[in-house]
A and B are shown apart, each in its own frame.
Chain A
């Protein structure tokens, strides 16, 4: 079972992001369970959503306590809550920011993870460019596909298209592709 925890703020599409990821896994014939952190959601408040992916039925109903991957949609959350709680030693970290890990004082956290398991993506910038709104969720899923290779970009694109038909969907798919390419480029650079 692969477990993803998404941290963000109300209005950033955190819950929709987890749902779209589950649809992408479903498209690939896998079992997936997406659920929000169940609270009174309001714009700007910290929000958590979860997605489990497995090859058999998922029965577990506890929140994700030991994620295999953390997606952080808003880097200001690092000061507010313990985002990293339970992150597995061999886990992945994906942060939406236009700064570096050093700027965010996350060097130590990144060093604990296997090489190449932590990446930054300017997903809000990418979303602004394609969608015209600060909604980084779709872009981050594109980046997730590149980082973990756990779902295929095609499935992510399908899932985004299902959630947002028409023009908005196309714009979000474009954002996902660019973020995907952004991560692949980082990986190529660090391999070189």
Chain B
């Protein structure tokens, strides 16, 4: 049913339709509205046979989800940013133990400096933790990915993180098709765990494993992710049959057929990129987009095929591995490496800490990539004047003080107050 609702609210409804049995929640912006919505549904009695557990921290939230999942319950939680960091140990445990928990990540920057706005730093911090990571481009896809995530998680016995851009999607009110209970029930069978703690048949989950077996356990985790490379498109296709729209999958291309330049990106910025591409296509520029939905597992082969014909590949991503560059760009590089004539790769870091990514800036970036390519990592819309002054100042003065505060002071001085 079509509704005009907040993304978070729609996700809460979709998660409820998946009939979770345990929801553990600890609030953190911008994810809070999702678990609040679920809390209301449990309280109203709309979501039955579900225990909503308020916990004292994010560490507890995922730990309770781990316990619940191991005991055979369909378990869900959500977090963001520092909350994900606080549960880091449990994040590795959930995947290491092979527990099919679904978690929403309302993508947000990581401090310091404190910043509550959107980027992908949080997801990137746990990219190697063994979870599947799926990125939603729209709120419709966010809704649909949650339904696919439970099915994937339980089929593979692995946890899945659904990454949704904080604020940009979680707080946007737009037209979203909320599926019916019958549709979801037909798609997602009841949870049938491959391992379960059952007093009738005592077993332990979480053995101590020495050097004799640790490699094999890890190999099998990696192997399962390669299985996911097949299952994700399959379940996406099955979803399309039942729900009448194509969402999810490993990746998808937009106006890529004859493109000389292909942009690679994840999440909601792909919408703005598509609009930019349409404008550039109108000007006769052969440019297209590849949207990555599955960041883990990373679709190396599918991406190689998608990018093979391009001359230039521009990666636009909302995170930075400080000292290395963009994580997505590095992963894309891995998929291009073995091509006989690989496209030139251009890496741009954009939208950090909630900085808007505008069509104007993207136009400029894409033109620059073909005309005047840069070395290393480009920081979109970087205020070079502020950065230059701060570098100069820190060179001059040993006790130059905290960077963030210094930059804020500089900006306060340089912005004239609005005309009286």
Contacts and interface: CB of A to CB of B under 8 A. Distances in A.
Question: Do they bind each other?
Answer: yes
Interface stretch (B155-163, B266-274, B327-335): B266-274
Contacts of B138: 59
B359 interface: yes
A40 B30 CA distance: 11
A34 interface: yes
A43 interface: no
A22 B174 contact: yes
Interface in B306-359: 354, 356-359
A40 B354 CA distance: 13
Nearest to B362: A62
A33 B167 contact: no
Contact of B173 (A34, A61, A80): A34
Contact of A62 (B171, B173, B274, B357): B357
Nearest to A20: B173
A82 interface: yes
B275 to A, nearest CB: 5
A33 B167 CA distance: 13
Contacts of A31: 174-175
A116 interface: no
- Interface residue range, chain A: 20 to 34
Contacts of A18: 173
B420 interface: yes
B418 A82 contact: yes
A35 B172 contact: yes
A65 interface: yes
Given A32-B175, A38-B117, A60 B418 contact: no
B168 interface: yes
Interface of A: 18-19, 22-23, 26-27, 31-36, 38, 40, 58-63, 65, 78-82
Interface in B71-121: 116-118
A58 B176 CA distance: 12
B208 to A, nearest CB: 45
A59 B272 contact: yes
Contacts of A81: 418
Contacts of B270: 59
Most chain B CB within 10 A, of A22, A31, A61, is at A61
Given A59-B272, A62-B358, A63-B356, A22 B4 contact: yes
28 contacts: A19-B6, A19-B173, A22-B4, A22-B173, A26-B4, A27-B4, A31-B175, A32-B173, A32-B174, A32-B175, A34-B172, A34-B173, A36-B171, A38-B117, A40-B116, A59-B270, A59-B274, A60-B272, A60-B275, A60-B359, A61-B168, A61-B269, A61-B271, A62-B272, A62-B356, A62-B357, A62-B358, A79-B418
Given A22-B173, A34-B172, A61 B4 contact: no
Nearest to B267: A61
Closest 8 CB pairs of A and B: A59-B271, A26-B4, A38-B167, A34-B173, A35-B172, A62-B358, A19-B173, A33-B174
B173 A35 contact: yes
Given A62-B272, A65-B358, A80-B418, A33 B171 contact: no
B332 to A, nearest CB: 22
B282 to A, nearest CB: 16
A37 B357 CA distance: 14
A32 B173 CA distance: 8
Contacts of B418: 78-82
Contacts of A78: 418
Contacts of A80: 418
Most chain A CB within 10 A, of B172, B173, B357, is at B173
A162 to B, nearest CB: 9
Nearest to B4: A26
B168 A32 contact: no
A38 B173 contact: no
B174 A61 contact: no
A18 B271 CA distance: 21
Nearest to A77: B418
Given A26-B4, A80-B418, A33 B172 contact: yes
Nearest to B272: A61
Contacts of A61: 168, 268-269, 271-272, 357
B44 to A, nearest CB: 15
Contacts of A65: 358
A81 to B, nearest CB: 5
A79 B417 CA distance: 9
Interface in B116-139: 116-118, 138
Contacts of A26: 4, 175
A35 B5 CA distance: 11
A140 to B, nearest CB: 17
